[in-house]
Amino acid sequence: MGDSAAARRRVGVVGAGAIGTSVGADFLLHGFEVVFVDRDERTLAEAARKVAEGVRFAPMLRPGLRRLSRAELAERARYVVDLGELAGCEFVVENVTEDWAVKRDLYARLDAALPPQVGIGVNTSSISIQRLAAETTRPEWIVGIHFMNPAYATEAVEVMRGANTSDDCLAYVEELVRSLGKQAIVVGDFPGFVSNRISHVFFNEAARLVQEEGVEPTVVDQVFKRCFGHTMGPLETADLIGLDTVVLTLRHLRESTHEDRYEPCGLLEQKVADGEVGRKAGRGFYRY
Ligand SMILES: NC(=O)c1ccc[n+]([C@@H]2O[C@H](COP(=O)([O-])OP(=O)(O)OC[C@H]3O[C@@H](n4cnc5c(N)ncnc54)[C@H](O)[C@@H]3O)[C@@H](O)[C@H]2O)c1
Domain harbouring 207, CATH code: 1.10.1040.10
Euclidean distance between CA atoms 235 and 287, whole angstroms: 12
Domain count, the chain: 2
Domain end call among 161, 188, 215: 188
153 and 17 assigned to the same domain? yes
| Domain harbouring 67, CATH code | 3.40.50.720
Question: Residue 160: beta bridge partners?
Answer: 144, 187
Per-residue pLDDT tens digits for 22-53: 999 999 999 999 999 999 999 999 999 999 99
Ligand 1 binding pocket includes 195 (Cβ within 6 Å): no
Cα(210) to ligand 1 centroid in Å equals 27
146 and 227 assigned to the same domain? no
140 and 215 assigned to the same domain? no
123 and 256 assigned to the same domain? no
Per-residue pLDDT tens digits for 226-247: 999 999 999 999 999 999 999 9
Cα(97) to ligand 1 centroid in Å equals 4
Bridge pairing between strands 33-37 and 183-188: unpaired
The answer to whether the beta carbons of residues 129 and 151 sit under 8 Å apart is no
Ligand 1 binding pocket includes 147 (Cβ within 6 Å): yes
pLDDT range class, residue 1, cuts 50, 70, 90: very low
208 and 137 assigned to the same domain? no
pTM of the model: 0.94
pLDDT-above-70 percentage for the chain: 98
φ, ψ for residue 183 (rounded to 5)? -100, 140
165 and 42 assigned to the same domain? yes
288: in domain: no
262 and 182 assigned to the same domain? no
Domain end call among 125, 157, 188: 188
Residue 2 CA neighbour count, 13 Å, CB half: 8
- Domain range for residue 100? 5-188
Cα(227) to ligand 1 centroid in Å equals 33
Per-residue pLDDT tens digits for 195-228: 999 999 999 999 999 999 999 999 999 999 999 9
